[in-house]
């Protein structure tokens, strides 16, 4: 899209902090946790928490654009979520489909490229159709990439990649000794997805829950106490400020004799 419009401002008038571009994470992974607990605490069914979380996702994407994050990956439905009640699974399938239908034009106007990562089996055909239509409509956008992870699991993605590589080896198209990390990454759901820099989870839980395991190997983890429906772009910005203060060494270290443990 040649001339994307800027996202709507936050109602408070808040603006993103001034952080040098080199300290802004390129890729933020988001676990949108706490919808059900947020609803139950208000005497509402769990599904109402999912409805309330839609606005939070939009606002976080808006905030990502404003601060310069290039990739946002949202954990919308995991391979483990099929174990929830049939009513909640049906709601989530229909809800994800309808969110894409309702919001794809807005995302397109912001210059957001929408992509899908996840498995096809078991996923409703109508959900796949909306995901593919959103991908088609926004494929040339460059402001930010929103990857909707629907029927996604990190272990499932790695297992599927291993299967594909095994087929290539069995067919004689790939030598086993040529399989390294770079080769393996080419068989993931989105081979050109950059590694996760900032892994953000809401609602106080402190685990990764099988999300982007390969891509988040060296991610900085930030956990929010607020449930997802109470999260907005200001929470993202604070997480980015935390990220900017972290010392990312990727296994390396600098020898500083005499330095205090806190320095």
User: Can you give the length of the chain in residues?
Assistant: 263
- The Cα 92–Cα 77 span in angstroms is 8
Q: Is 81 considered catalytic here?
A: yes
Q: Which residue has the tokens 């972290």?
A: 246
- The Cα 82–Cα 158 span in angstroms is 19
Query: For residue 211, what are the CA distances in angstroms to 47, 111, 227?
Result: 22, 25, 18
Give me the helix-helix angle, 233-245 and 46-67, nearest 10°: 60
Catalytic residue among 3, 35, 59, 81: 81
Q: Is 210 considered catalytic here?
A: no
Q: By the 8 A CB rule, do 225 and 201 touch?
A: no
What is the rounded radius of gyration, in angstroms, for the C-alpha atoms of the chain?
Answer: 19
Catalytic residue among 33, 189, 197, 232: 33
The catalytic residues are 33, 81
């Amino acid at each position: 899209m040649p001339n994307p419009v800027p996202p709507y401002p936050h109602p408070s008038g808040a603006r993103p902090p001034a952080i040098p571009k080199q300290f802004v994470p390129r890729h933020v992974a988001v676990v949108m946790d706490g919808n059900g607990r947020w609803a139950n605490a208000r005497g509402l069914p769990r599904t109402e928490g999912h409805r309330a979380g839609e606005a939070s996702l939009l606002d976080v994407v808006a905030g990502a654009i404003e601060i310069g994050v290039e990739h946002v990956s949202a954990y919308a439905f995991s391979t483990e979520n099929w174990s929830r009640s049939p009513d909640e699974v049906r709601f989530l399938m229909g809800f994800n489909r309808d969110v894409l239908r309702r919001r794809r034009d807005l995302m397109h106007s912001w210059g957001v490229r929408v992509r899908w990562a996840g498995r096809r089996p078991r996923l409703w055909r109508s959900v796949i159709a909306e995901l593919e239509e959103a991908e088609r409509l926004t494929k040339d956008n460059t402001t930010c990439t929103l990857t909707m992870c629907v029927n996604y699991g990190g272990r499932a993605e790695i297992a599927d990649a291993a299967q594909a590589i095994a087929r290539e080896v069995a067919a004689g198209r790939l030598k086993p000794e040529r399989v390294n990390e770079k080769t393996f990454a080419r068989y993931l759901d989105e081979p050109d997805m950059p590694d996760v820099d900032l892994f953000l989870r809401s609602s106080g839980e402190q685990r990764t829950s099988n999300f982007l395991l390969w891509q988040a190997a060296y991610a900085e983890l930030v956990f929010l106490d607020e449930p997802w429906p109470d999260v907005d772009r200001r929470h993202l910005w604070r997480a980015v400020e935390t990220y900017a203060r972290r010392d990312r060494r990727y296994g390396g270290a600098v020898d500083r004799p005499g330095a205090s443990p806190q320095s």
